[in-house]
Amino acid sequence: MAAVGGGARLPAVPDWPWSQGDEGPARLLEAARLATLGRLVPAVAHQLATPLASIALRAESLEGDLHGPGGAVPGDKLERYLRAISAETLRCKELLANLRVFARAPDPAFGKVDVNALCRGAAALVLHEGMRRQIEVQLDLDEAVPVIRGCEGRLGQAVLSLLVNGLDASPAKGRVVLETRVDRPGEVAVTVIDEGPGVSDDVRLRLFETVFSTQPPGRGLGLGLVACRLIAEQHKGSIECTTGHGRGGRFVFRIPSGSGQGGAG
Ligand SMILES: Nc1ncnc2c1ncn2[C@@H]1O[C@H](COP(=O)(O)OP(=O)(O)OP(=O)(O)O)[C@@H](O)[C@H]1O
Ligand SMILES: [Mg+2]
């Protein structure tokens, strides 16, 4: 199989129906990435709408003061409102900058990846979807996690996909925890833990199959975990589900901290 754009070689997808030739795995990854983003866009749009509405209201109020009977903004209102407008604008800017990291087509070349920063960004992106469903998204990051080598876009996609699965599995008022650890030398572990029903033995056997999903139609394509598996293998890492039925979800994504030097390609 040919290398994909200078990154590490993508593994084959045995059960992917369109995997004839080298493009199958890359197409699957793209389909999975776009599907996950599509799931998050409404929540992100909502997350932007709140500060934008506040900016518009404050600007209108200041305009009303200027064109009103006094012809001026009273007291310290101008300063307070401008400060609030600037803080809200910054919120929007940060959210959009974060969205750009996850929305742009990944550069397949391996580079330095700050796993904790990636996890913070992914958590920020799903925060509103969590709030909407009354699910708390919590970070538990080990600051000792080293910067690793890998494809930032694909690793971000994997973390995002595991987080969305955690949210999908969680009951309202539940909690999804995103954890980073160096629990084995030379390896970084990213774990997503949820308080959902966990995984039955039947489902566990099929978790990483292409287009296997227990989500209702229109909600899941069954591409998230097979994409995570491809991304893990591309980084010479692994992914496993370390829970059983009735114990909540727990998925561990492991990446060698020196992975991908030069790619395998
Ligand atoms: N945290 C979890 N708890 C319980 N079951 C899970 C969890 N994560 C995944 N699963 C099970 O594995 C199946 C496959 O997951 P996968 O992410 O591949 O697809 P999906 O979430 O159904 O759809 P997609 O990710 O393509 O939107 C899910 O439908 C679900 O049955
Ligand atoms: Mg999924």
pLDDT one-digit tens code per residue, 63-73: 999 999 989 99
E strand segments, the chain: 111-113, 136-140, 148-150, 175-184, 187-193, 238-241, 250-256
Q: 154 C-alpha to center of ligand 2: Å?
A: 15
**Residue 89's pLDDT is what?**
97
Q: How far apart are CA 254 and CA 228, in angstroms?
A: 11
**Residue 265's pLDDT is what?**
31
Q: Average of pLDDT values for 146-167?
A: 96
**Residue 101's pLDDT is what?**
87
Q: What is the mean pLDDT of the chain?
A: 89
- List the chain domain ranges: 21-45+99-256
177 lines ligand 1 (CB under 6 A): no
**Residue 172's pLDDT is what?**
94
Above 70 in pLDDT, residue 20? no
Ligand 1 atom with the smallest distance to the CA of 169 is: 3
200 lines ligand 1 (CB under 6 A): no
pLDDT tier at 14 (50, 70, 90 boundaries)? low
Q: Average of pLDDT values for 112-121?
A: 96
**Residue 224's pLDDT is what?**
96
Ligand 1 atom with the smallest distance to the CA of 214 is: 29
CA-proximal residue: ligand 1, atom 25 (nearest): 224
138 lines ligand 1 (CB under 6 A): no
**Residue 113's pLDDT is what?**
95
Cβ-based neighbours of 261, under 8 Å, separated by 6 or more: 110, 149
**Residue 130's pLDDT is what?**
95
Above 50 in pLDDT, residue 245? yes
Above 90 in pLDDT, residue 13? no
pTM attached to this predicted model: 0.87
All residues with CB under 5 Å from ion ligand 2? 165, 224
241 lines ligand 1 (CB under 6 A): no
Please give the CATH topology (third level) of the domain spanning 21-45+99-256. Heat Shock Protein 90 (3.30.565)
